[in-house]
Amino acid sequence: MPSIDTARRRLRLSDSHVSVLGLLVEEGQVPGELAQAHSELKEAGILDAEGKISADLYPLVATLMEPRVIARVEMTGPQGVSSNGAVVGDDFIFTHECWPGDQESEYTPAEPETLVWALARMVDLHRDFTDATDSAEEIASTMGTLDQVIERMEAGEFEEPEAVAAVTGAPVRLAEVLAQLNCMWRMTVVWQGDGPTRNAGGAAVSALAVWDCGLEGYWLRELPAEPVVDGQVDASSELKVRRTSAKELWQLITDLLPDGAQLTAGQPRPS
């Protein structure tokens, strides 16, 4: 069920709830498949008896309807895939996070100064105590081999990394690192403006992909290079990962976000 905490300006909403709110703002008809979500919003007091949106939702709805920057965080771990992120508008910023398997996310207001911190927390970025002298270590292979190693390890049979490498043809070091894998995560930032890459819709996009490998530390996936689009990667695609540090990742997350000049470059000039 959706819920609202007016004291802390936070809400719990599913994608269906957000879709209903968007339709109501645009004065559109709520289709039958969203009828339950519509009723749940009323029961939670987020919509009044006449179906109007509570004034407390104005900051969130205004931000979702006209975002300037959208950050998406996709984390893959033992409990499946979870999707989190942040939405930046002209006046407000909201982050959203969910538990694996939950349909609803918690939307919470944030300040510009805390956005990098919030994104880092979503991926559990923490100090690592690995040997800093290994920070330049690289492993090269293919995406098909990576999939084979992961499938072998997910089969539930305990095998030493050397045995996994022998069966799959993977570098032993790759099997050793993946044996300590906690999760993999991708962070993607999209905005209308200037940027190093553009997506199919013409928006600027920046992204990075990371492995959190516990005792083996953090590994940055340099190939295939992010952002990756559907159909771009297959089993033969080159894989290259480089050992990195929490400090470097903090800076990389900071660099994903557009600066003022990149944002204003995509805005129409006043006449």
- Cα(60)–Cα(44) distance, rounded to whole angstroms? 16
Highest mean pLDDT among 3-17, 185-199, 234-248: 234-248
Binning pLDDT at 50, 70 and 90, where does residue 56 land? confident
pLDDT at residue 267, rounded to an integer:
54
Lowest mean pLDDT among 90-104, 113-127, 133-147: 133-147
Long-range contacts of 144-149 (CB under 8 A, 24+ apart): 144/234, 144/235, 144/236, 144/237, 145/169, 145/170, 145/174, 145/239, 146/170, 146/174, 146/178, 146/239, 147/235, 149/174, 149/175, 149/178
As a whole number of angstroms, the distance between CA 19 and CA 61 comes to 10
Closest CA to 256 of 200, 222, 207: 207
pLDDT at 155: 82
User: Higher-confidence residue: 131 or 104?
Assistant: 104
* pLDDT of the residue at 261: 67
The per-residue pLDDT for 108 is: 95
Report pLDDT for 264. Answer: 62
CA-to-CA separations, 48 to 25, 43, 51, 52, in angstroms, rounded:
14, 9, 5, 5
Q: What is the pLDDT of residue 20?
A: 93
Confidence of residue 268 (pLDDT cuts 50, 70, 90): very low
pLDDT above 80 for 27 = no
Average pLDDT taken over every residue of the chain: 89
pLDDT above 50: residue 257: yes
